[in-house]
Amino acid sequence: MADGIEFKLEGIDSLVSKLESISYDAKRKGGRSALRKAAQVVADAAKQNANRIDDPKTAAAIYKNIALRWNGRLFKATGNLGFRVGVLGGARIPKSKPKGTDSGYPGGDTRYWAFVEFGTSTAAAKPFMRNALAENISLATNTFITEYEKAIDRAIKRAAKKGTTA
């Protein structure tokens, strides 16, 4: 059901050499910040794409429910940093909840977003989440690299100021 997305990182030699000179804590802290900024690029693109397909006549707005969240489960299981970009409320069948009940989310009840994203037997797919990543993968990667390099430089400067290793 999900399409595989592959990409190749180029031009990160200076980043890799700097990574070797700093501690694990500095890598993790700077990496999380840089990864959040890179994921925010994808989240913003998803919001723009969803805003284009949302029906202004309805109270529900998918773009208001697109959120960026830290993936703590991935971090605890593997130690890898990760953020998730998704739609609040999940992707359940909308008729499972009585009409007129408030979902509590900023954009209202948008559990139908998966039907829009992947299509149904009677409606064509209008992907907005997959396109957000596919169209912005290089921008997100470049954002991550530049932000992570800045964080590493700051960690190295702080360590040099204290007279310790980063």
- The confidence band for 142, taking pLDDT boundaries of 50, 70 and 90, is very high
Whether residue 125 lies inside any domain: the answer is yes
Whether residue 13 lies inside any domain: the answer is no
Which of the 8 DSSP states describes residue 66? E
Mean pLDDT across 119-133: 93
Whether residue 164 lies inside any domain: the answer is no
As for how many domains the chain has, the answer is: 1
Residue with tokens 């773009």: 63
What distance in Å separates the CA atoms of residue 36 and residue 27, rounded to the nearest whole number?
14
What distance in Å separates the CA atoms of residue 76 and residue 82, rounded to the nearest whole number?
11
- The confidence band for 11, taking pLDDT boundaries of 50, 70 and 90, is low
Summarised one tens digit per residue, pLDDT across range 79-110 is 889 999 999 988 776 565 555 555 678 888 88
Whether residue 12 lies inside any domain: the answer is no
Q: Using alpha carbons, list the distances in angstroms from residue 38 to 11, 43, 54, 99, 139.
A: 17, 9, 25, 37, 8
Q: What is the pLDDT of residue 163?
A: 73
Whether residue 15 lies inside any domain: the answer is no
Q: Whose CA is closest to 104, among 68, 64, 71, 70?
A: 64
Whether residue 80 lies inside any domain: the answer is yes
125: pLDDT strictly greater than 70: yes
Output the CA angle 116-118-122, nearest 5 degrees.
70
What distance in Å separates the CA atoms of residue 152 and residue 143, rounded to the nearest whole number?
14
Whether residue 131 lies inside any domain: the answer is yes
* Domain coverage including residue 91: 24-159
Whether residue 147 lies inside any domain: the answer is yes
Q: Using alpha carbons, list the distances in angstroms from residue 101 to 4, 56, 95, 134.
A: 37, 20, 12, 35
